[in-house]
Structure 1
Amino acid sequence: VDSQFKRYKLLSLNENILICNDKDSQTIVDKRIGAHFWIPVPRKLLTTLQALIDLELITNISFRIDNITDYIPFFEDMEVGSPLKLNVADLPSLSKFYSIDNYANSFWVHHDSRERSITFEELRDDFQMVNDDVITQVIHL
């Protein structure tokens, strides 16, 4: 008997009760009976909790249950594209990637092999301006 459930109505993880953190649903599953217990935990937080559990930094944890179902729904969607796989050394020092839907939405990659640096910058059609400066998203490594 789960002492947390008996006392506080919380369901504890154990060898039979596991986290199921899907894109569209966050549940814990009792693999003995196949029941999905819906928990009110955002996906990013649940991902972090799972990582801490995997590292054994969290050894006991219990969750409040919002709902119980025998399945989780699957929502159809379509993703276009693929992961960007490239060898930076094969790129020209400056590359532009753009959306086929809007050429003004672009992603620039600048690399300097001598300096061993790479910069990613996103330029958007709906950019913001401060004084005469365009606000962009930049990552420099």
Structure 2
Amino acid sequence: MKGKVAISIQMFHPIFTTDKIKKYFDMTPDIEYCVNTPWILPNGKIINALHKRSYLCYDILPFQERDLEDAIDYVNEYFEKKIKNKKFLKLFIQTGGTINYYIGLGINNYYAFELCPEILRRCKALNITLGIEIYNDLKS
């Protein structure tokens, strides 16, 4: 069953800087902030607080009519090709890092989905968790 699907890759780490993380992935983040740097609001105001972890967000798949499993499979293949060093990926996870696919799912009325074990196994092999936000009545 198809719906409108968008997927971003989110990476979080409590110790590694964004510069260190970016060296090991052949991607350019759309959003990033580094651990122990000040919070800056969109209007430029600096808040008296520091980020507790580094964050990188890569917008991979914009909203488009697509099968959810096919979209996740596409992003798994994409991400796997962008990893420059598998040992670093393991270290990233072992030292407290997390990687999440932020999935936006636009639906109209009723939409049921399931994820096959193979898709979930592939995500697990890449240490990916899935976060799904459902938008009802998403307009183009």
TM-score by structure 2 length? Answer: 0.21
Please state which structure has a larger fraction of its residues in helix.
2
Which of the pair has more CA radius of gyration? Answer: 1
